């Protein structure tokens, strides 16, 4: 119900904290595609531990020990090969056949 309120009001700024935590990967992807459409003219901040939800974001900020550790797009952070890339690959193993990494 609170999500409906967020999108029913015409605010220029939206913050969603772990909006997909109870969803499976397919439902999560569908939800983020819809959020992207609903927030296209707004500033939207998504707080998430599931890095699969970051692929559509314009900018990702990875916090570590209360500091900005890395910042960029999904592709830039994967190419950097740092903490984000390591965490993304570890999480991706949960969504591939046999638990093997897909690169």
Q: What is the pLDDT along the chain (103 residues), one digit of tens a residue?
A: 566 776 677 788 888 888 777 787 778 778 888 888 888 888 988 888 888 778 888 999 999 999 999 999 999 999 999 999 999 999 888 766 554 444 4
Question: Is the CB of residue 95 less than 8 Å from the CB of residue 25?
Answer: yes
Q: Angle 74-86-20 (CA atoms, 0-180°, nearest 5)? A: 60
Residues in the chain: 103
């Amino acid at each position: 119900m609170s999500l409906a309120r967020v999108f029913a009001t015409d605010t220029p700024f939206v913050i969603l904290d772990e909006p997909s935590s109870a969803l499976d990967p397919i439902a999560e992807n569908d939800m983020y595609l819809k959020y992207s459409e609903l927030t296209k003219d707004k500033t939207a901040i998504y707080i998430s531990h599931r890095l699969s939800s970051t692929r559509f974001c314009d900018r990702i900020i990875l916090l570590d020990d209360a500091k900005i550790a890395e910042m960029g797009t999904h592709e830039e952070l994967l190419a950097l090969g740092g903490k984000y890339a390591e965490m993304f690959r570890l999480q991706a193993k949960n969504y591939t056949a046999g638990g093997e990494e897909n690169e």
